[in-house]
Amino acid sequence: METAHPRPSEIAEDRAMLRKAAELTRDLHRPNPLIYWGDFLGSTGLAYAAMTGAILLPLGPALACAVLAVLALYRATLFIHEITHLNHAHLPGFRTGWNLLLGVPTMLPSFMYEGIHIIHHTRTRYGTVEDPEYLPLALMKPWSLPVFLLVSALLPVGLLLRFGILAPLSMLSPGLRRVVVERFSGLQTNPKFKRRGPEGDFARRWFWQELGASLMAIALLTAVATHVLPLRAFLICLAIVSGAAVLNQLRTLVAHLWENDGEQMTVTAQYLDSTNVPEGLLPALWAPVGLRYHALHHLLPSLPYHALGEAHRRISAALPGDGTYQAGNHATLRGLLFRLAASTMRRRL
């Protein structure tokens, strides 16, 4: 008789694995400024250059540039994830530089993720209704998956509305401002989550980032309306941002198994509900900046992205091949998508 698969909330803590993982990686926690700045600046410069080529070149080369722009913009944007986990004393100026060069120009300033993502890593909130980044997709209907992907394609339009229209209007209406802060100020997937207003230094950073993104949105809309910016160029830029958003949403679909039904989980259970895809070259494109080791990241969230590969090698060599750690490793994006789709098909309408 086949053994029943335990519910995520029933998985006990594997303290030996947690202890060994911490012991083996104690020397890997300091971010390397040369790697961070070099990777980010190179990816950002490539994204803007390729975007320019997509606008100016003939159709064939333009399409190639558009694909390259999507991949480079996607990689550069994902440093927002690192910003939420960084000890900024070890990498001074990186958050400011990221916002000035990418976050504000793309209307995706870091406050949209800071303060949100860290809740996802909270021991008592992961996978519950209080987690802003968790939906039990594996337990939902099949139509939820294509809807989850399609919504992301509208991200650039949503950002233009949020910063170009709602943000200025919310300065005139406390009620609207509350809605904007609670519902439209975070990269969250849980529709029940309401964000709290910022405080202290974070409130000051929020103000300047939001102001910059709003000015950018208003300038773009005005430039298009007055024909200063050609509509074709504007739409190509939107399509590239949309492509990067869809690629990220595809990665998000397989970042977790999404099998928790809202109960609290052990750290081990959270690890096993997350995924590593350590083998092959393709994950470097669809899960860059260390996100191919997403389960390991949930195990050791303070590790910089460039240390995750070495951490994975050390832990894999030290722990049994049939143990808990290896159970978090998966072979391919396709296999994870098939598993998720198969789970939803068991709940078809």
Phi and psi, residue 279, nearest 5°: -100, 150
- Position 34 in a domain: no
- Position 238 in a domain: yes
Query: Looking at residue 215, what is its pLDDT?
Result: 98
Would you tell me how many other CB atoms lie within 10 Å of the CB of residue 265?
23
Rounded Cα distance between 35 and 102, Å, is 18
Q: Is the Cβ–Cβ distance between 47 and 72 less than 8 Å?
A: yes
pLDDT mean across residues, the chain: 95
- Position 21 in a domain: no
Instruction: State in Å, rounded, how far the first CA of the chain is from the last one.
Output: 29
Cβ-proximal residues to 68 (8 Å cutoff; 6+ apart), any chain: 46, 50, 53
What is the largest distance, in Å, between two alpha-carbon atoms of the chain?
71
Mean pLDDT of 261-281: 95
Predicted confidence (pLDDT) at residue 135 exceeds the cutoff of 60: yes
Strand partners, 276: 293, 329
Query: Looking at residue 60, what is its pLDDT?
Result: 97
Mean pLDDT of 1-26: 84
Predicted confidence (pLDDT) at residue 3 exceeds the cutoff of 90: no
Rounded Cα distance between 294 and 278, Å, is 10
- Position 53 in a domain: no
- Position 340 in a domain: yes
Rounded Cα distance between 287 and 206, Å, is 28
For the record, the structure tokens of 26 come out as 């104690």
Q: Is the Cβ–Cβ distance between 104 and 213 less than 8 Å?
A: yes
Query: Looking at residue 170, what is its pLDDT?
Result: 97
| Domain count for the chain | 1
Hey, is 337 helix, strand or coil?
Answer: helix
User: Distance between alpha carbon 333 and the CA centroid of its chain, in Å?
Assistant: 16
Rounded Cα distance between 309 and 272, Å, is 18
| DSSP string of 123-176, one letter each residue | TTTTTSTT-TT---GGGS-TTHHHHHHHHHHTHHHHHHHIIIIIHHHHTS-HHH
CA dihedral (213, 89, 188, 110) in degrees, to 10, reads 10
Query: Looking at residue 7, what is its pLDDT?
Result: 85
Q: Answer positive or negative: Cα dihedral of 305, 67, 53, 235.
A: negative
- Position 260 in a domain: yes
**6/162: higher pLDDT:** 162
Only one residue has tokens 């519910």, namely: 7
**What are 272-288's pLDDT values in tens digits?**
999 999 999 999 999 99
- Position 226 in a domain: yes
pLDDT bucket at 2, cuts 50 / 70 / 90: very low
- Position 26 in a domain: no
pLDDT bucket at 348, cuts 50 / 70 / 90: low
User: Distance between alpha carbon 73 and the CA centroid of its chain, in Å?
Assistant: 13
Q: Which residues form the domain of 201?
A: 123-345
Instruction: For the chain, give the percent of residues with pLDDT over 90.
Output: 95
pTM of the model: 0.95
**What are 165-214's pLDDT values in tens digits?**
999 999 999 999 999 999 999 999 999 999 999 999 999 999 999 999 99
